[in-house]
Structure 1
Amino acid sequence: MTLSEEARERLADLVELQPTKNSELQERWGLESGSEVHQYLESELKDYYYRDDNSLIRANKDAAELVDVEPGVVDDEGEGTPAAIRVPELQQQVFSVVAGPDEDSESVVSVLQKLRAEYDIDPEAGDVRSALQSLRRKGVVEVVYRTVPTFRLTVERDSVEVSVAE
């Protein structure tokens, strides 16, 4: 299957962001809906992706080799904890401020306040929540359910190399 330049670029995004969801690809690709993402995946990239047991979108081995892009998550010798992740800038910033694995978990609002103080940015709470959930899917953040869902790292901050995906 020969891919257009746009399809190659979008496949590279999929490899880089995996595991991912329609909404993340929708944002990256500038599409109107998750349905458009699904249609694009099925019509242009069906030979290069699959959905895992949690319905997250992942690129297959052929995709990573075809586009020569580092996967979004590099497993540390099958231990389940990634050694490296490539994420959008907001996710990198969230990773750097969210509570560590030995600290009390914190709410989305608490993480948002830390981002404001540390980076002088003011993202929407929904964007912070989305960043935390994406980091959870990548295996570096966990949710602790209290009165409201709270978050903390599952790994020591310096044990994972975090790079910003461009």
Structure 2
Amino acid sequence: MTLSEEAKERLADLVELQPTKNAELQERWDLESGSEVHQYLENNLKDYYYRDDNSLIRATSEAAELVDVEPGVEADEEGSVPDVIRVPELQKQVFEVVAGPDDESESVVSVLNKVRDRFDVNPEAEDVRSALQSLRRKGVVEVVYRTVPTFKLTVERDEITVEVAD
């Protein structure tokens, strides 16, 4: 399958963001819906991606070689906790402020306020929620269900290298 330049760029996004969901790719690719993402994947990248047991989108090893991009998650030897994650800037900021693994978990609004205070940015609560969920899928944040879902890191910050993927 020969890929257009746009398809190669989008495949590189998929490799960087994996594991990911339609919504994350929809935002990155500026598409109208998750259905449009699915159609694009099926029509243009079907040989280069798959869905794992949790229905998350992952690139094949051939895809990573084709676009010469490092995967979004590089696991340690045991494969349980990543050593490196490549994420958008907001996810990096969220990672830097969310409660640590030994701290009490915190709400989306609490993380939102910490991001706003520390980085002098003004993201929406839904963007922070999405960032937390993406970090959860990467295995570095966990959800603790209390009155509302709350979040905290699964590992110490210094155990993970966080790189911004543009």
User: TM-score, with normalisation over the residues of structure 1?
Assistant: 0.99
| Cα distance, 1:77 vs structure 2 | 1.3
Quote the residue 1:61 is aligned against. 61
Distance 1:149 1:103 in 2: 15
The residue that corresponds to 1:128 in the other structure is: 128
Aligned to 1:5: 5
Once the 2 structures are TM-superposed, how far is the Cα of residue 121 of structure 1 from its aligned partner? Answer: 1.1
TM-score if structure 2 supplies the norm length?
0.99
In structure 2, the partner of 1:111 is: 111
Instruction: Report the number of matched residues.
Output: 166
Q: Which residue of 1 aligns with 2:160?
A: 160
Question: Residue type matched to 2:41 in 1?
Answer: L
**1:1-166 aligned within 5 A:** 1-166=1-166
Q: What 5-or-longer segments of structure 1 have no aligned partner?
A: none
**Percent of pairs with identical residues:** 80
1:48-84 Cα offsets, whole Å, 9 max, x none, are 0000011000001100000000000000113310000
DSSP 3-state at the match of 2:20? coil
Deviation at 1:116, TM superposition (A): 1.2
Structure 2 gap segments, 5+ residues each:
none
Letter in 2 for 1:61: S
Q: Which runs of structure 1 show a deviation greater than 3 angstroms over 4 or more consecutive aligned residues? A: none
In structure 1, what is the Cα distance between the partners aligned to 2:37 and 2:65? 22
- Greater shift in the superposed pair: 38-47 or 75-84: 75-84
Matched residue type, 2:75: D
After superposition, the C-alpha distances for 1:69-106 in whole angstroms (9 at most, x for unaligned) are 00000001133100000000000000000000000000
